[in-house]
A = this chain, B = another copy of it.
Amino acid sequence: MRENLFRKIQNGEHPMPSAAVTLGAQIIEISAELGSIVIEFEGKSAFTNPVGNIQGGFLVAMLDDTMGPALAVTLREDEFAPTLDLTTQFIASAKIGKLVGYGRVVSKGKNVCFLESELKQNGKLVAKASATAVIRQIPR
């Protein structure tokens, strides 16, 4: 399983993917057994819409970057799992500052996986997402 890779990322011994760096991601907690993860993000001024809130799409990028790792941590080294679809509900506006993503694997089948995540700011739910992913072998 890739849990070791994520522990290395968490400990700063392995680089984060660029998208995660751009989103200011920091892994707070990982559980490969539960298929769950907690990641802190930075809502930057570079992500704001005309009214100064974090643009919804960047909140989705954070939710995606929470669900992806929640599943990835349970995969074997020779597997990857592209997302097929992703649905987001925007519950409240998010301001510049810290956001915390809570991701979990709802169901992991032989190929098809269902994922969900929540994004909170100061303890308040700002957005919620669900996604479908499929497990594939990494071509050699």
0/1 string, A53-96, CB within 8 A of B gives 1: 01111101111110010000000000010111111111001000
Q: Is the CB of A80 within 8 A of B60?
A: no
Number of chain A residues whose Cβ lies closer than 8 Å to a Cβ of chain B: 35
Q: Is the CB of A49 within 8 A of B93?
A: no
- Give the Cβ gap from A132 to chain B, nearest Cβ, in Å: 10
Q: What is the bound-complex CA distance between A62 and B17, given in angstroms? A: 19
| Integer count of this chain's copies in the complex | 2
- Give the Cβ gap from A88 to chain B, nearest Cβ, in Å: 5
**What are the nearest 7 A-B pairs in CB distance?**
A57-B61, A57-B64, A19-B55, A60-B60, A87-B87, A22-B46, A18-B48
